[in-house]
Structure 1
Amino acid sequence: MSVFLYIIRRVASALAVIAVIAMAMFLIFFMTPTNPAQLMCGKPCTPERLAQVSAFMGTDLPWYSQLFNYLQGIFVGRTFGDSASASAIVCAAPCLGWSFALNEPVTGLIFSRFPVTASIAIGAAVLWMIIGVFAGVLQAVKRDSWIDRLIVAISSIGISSPTYLIGLLAIIAFAVYIPVFPTGGYVSFFANPFDWAWHLLLAWIVLALINGAFYARITRSTMIREFGKDYVRTARAKGMPDSHVVVNHALRNAILPIFTMFGLDLGGLLGGAVITERVFSMHGLGSLLLDAVKTFDLQVLVGVTLFSAALVIIANLIVDVCYCLLDPRAAKVAL
Structure 2
Amino acid sequence: MTRFLFRRILQLIPTLFVVAIIVFFITRLLPGNPAAVMLGPQASVEDIERYSEELGLNDPIFVQFINYLGDLITFNFGNSLSYNAPIIDLILERFPNTIILAMSALILAVLIGVPAGIIAARKQNSFIDYIITTFSLVGVSMPIFWLGVMLVLLFSVNLGVLPATGMANFMDSPVEFFRHLLLPSIALSTIPMAEFARIIRSSMLEVLKQDYVKAAKSKGISERVVIYKHALKNAVTPLLTVIGLQFSNLLGGAVLTETIFSWPGMGLLIVDAIERRDFIVVQNTVIFIALIYVTINLIVDILYKVVNPKVNFDSKKG
> What range is the shorter-chain TM-score in?
0.7 to 0.9
Aligned positions, number: 314
The 3 A distance-change label for structure 1 pair 208 and 34 is closer
Preserved CA contact (<8 Å) 1:131 1:208: no
1:71 aligned to 2:52?
no
Deviation at 1:333, TM superposition (A): 4.2
Letter in 1 for 2:57: T
Preserved CA contact (<8 Å) 1:40 1:53: no
Partners of 2:239 and 2:285 in 1: CA distance: 28
Q: Return 5+ residue gaps in structure 2 as ranges.
A: none
Partners of 2:263 and 2:142 in 1: CA distance: 21
Moved more, 67-76 or 163-172: 67-76
How do 1:71-220 residues align onto structure 2 when only pairs under 5 Å count?
A: 71-74=69-72, 76=74, 94-220=75-201
Deviation at 1:103, TM superposition (A): 1.7
Partners of 1:261 and 1:197 in 2: CA distance: 26
Deviation at 1:131, TM superposition (A): 0.8
Q: Which residue of 1 aligns with 2:224?
A: 243
Determine which of 281, 286, 294 is the counterpart of 1:305: 286
Letter in 1 for 2:148: G
Deviation at 1:299, TM superposition (A): 0.7
Deviation string, structure 1 residues 155-174 (Cα, Å, up to 9, x no partner): 34433433233323323333
Q: Which residue of 1 aligns with 2:301?
A: 320
SS at match of 1:99: coil
Preserved CA contact (<8 Å) 1:156 1:213: yes
Partners of 1:178 and 1:38 in 2: CA distance: 44
Preserved CA contact (<8 Å) 1:128 1:207: no
Q: Which residue of 2 aligns with 1:10?
A: 8
Letter in 2 for 1:45: V
Moved more, 179-188 or 157-166: 157-166
Determine which of 247, 251, 275 is the counterpart of 1:266: 247
Q: Which residue of 1 aligns with 2:45?
A: 45
Preserved CA contact (<8 Å) 2:188 2:253: no
Moved more, 52-61 or 217-226: 52-61
Preserved CA contact (<8 Å) 2:113 2:197: yes
Deviation at 1:122, TM superposition (A): 0.7
Task: Provide TM-score, normalisation by structure 1.
Answer: 0.82
1:286 aligned to 2:267?
yes
Partners of 2:269 and 2:26 in 1: CA distance: 19
Deviation at 1:334, TM superposition (A): 4.3
Partners of 2:49 and 2:158 in 1: CA distance: 57
SS at match of 2:162: coil
Determine which of 238, 250, 262 is the counterpart of 1:257: 238
Letter in 2 for 1:304: T
How do 1:229-240 residues align onto structure 2 when only pairs under 5 Å count?
A: 229-240=210-221
SS at match of 2:281: helix
The 3 A distance-change label for structure 1 pair 14 and 248 is farther
Partners of 2:137 and 2:22 in 1: CA distance: 38
Moved more, 24-33 or 105-114: 24-33
Partners of 2:7 and 2:210 in 1: CA distance: 33
Q: Which residue of 2 aligns with 1:90?
A: none
Partners of 2:131 and 2:119 in 1: CA distance: 11
Task: Provide TM-score, normalisation by structure 2.
Answer: 0.85
The 3 A distance-change label for structure 1 pair 36 and 331 is farther
Determine which of 292, 311, 314 is the counterpart of 1:330: 311
Preserved CA contact (<8 Å) 2:34 2:276: no
Deviation at 1:314, TM superposition (A): 1.4
Preserved CA contact (<8 Å) 1:115 1:284: yes
Partners of 2:34 and 2:154 in 1: CA distance: 44
Moved more, 169-178 or 317-326: 169-178
Deviation at 1:323, TM superposition (A): 0.7
Deviation at 1:188, TM superposition (A): 3.1
